[in-house]
Amino acid sequence: MAEKKKSKFLMYKGRPLVRNGNTIYYGFMDQSHVTMLTVLSTKKVNDIDVADKVRVQLIATDITLNPLEAMVKTGEKDGLFDALELASVWLDRYLKE
């Protein structure tokens, strides 16, 4: 029987999610682009803080670019799910090129 390789990261649509505070990086750092999701505000739902407004940024991983040149696209979504969907679509489009 073949063993499945377990990832130490939470995955969404085959890409890793790495969280640091209110910032979530989505994608593989060895690819040309990743997305950075920043939780701008939260709301209480049944005594749990849930992301309300989330900024999504598509960023080139080329370390020779200055941070302003590395930022390719930016947008804002209501809720983490919608932000992750947007990030996934952007990565799908840019990684095909």
pLDDT above 70 (res 1): no
For the chain, report the end-to-end CA distance as a whole number of angstroms. 37
Rounded Cα distance between 41 and 49, Å, is 9
Q: What is the pTM of this model?
A: 0.83
- 4 pLDDT above the threshold of 60: no
Please give the average per-residue pLDDT across 46-53, as a whole number.
91
Sheet holding 33-45, edge to edge: 10-12, 15-20, 23-26, 33-45, 48-60, 71-78
Q: What residues does each domain of the chain span? A: 11-96
Length of the chain: 97
For residue 96, the model assigns a pLDDT of 83
Cα separations in angstroms, 88 against 17, 34, 66, 83: 11, 10, 24, 9
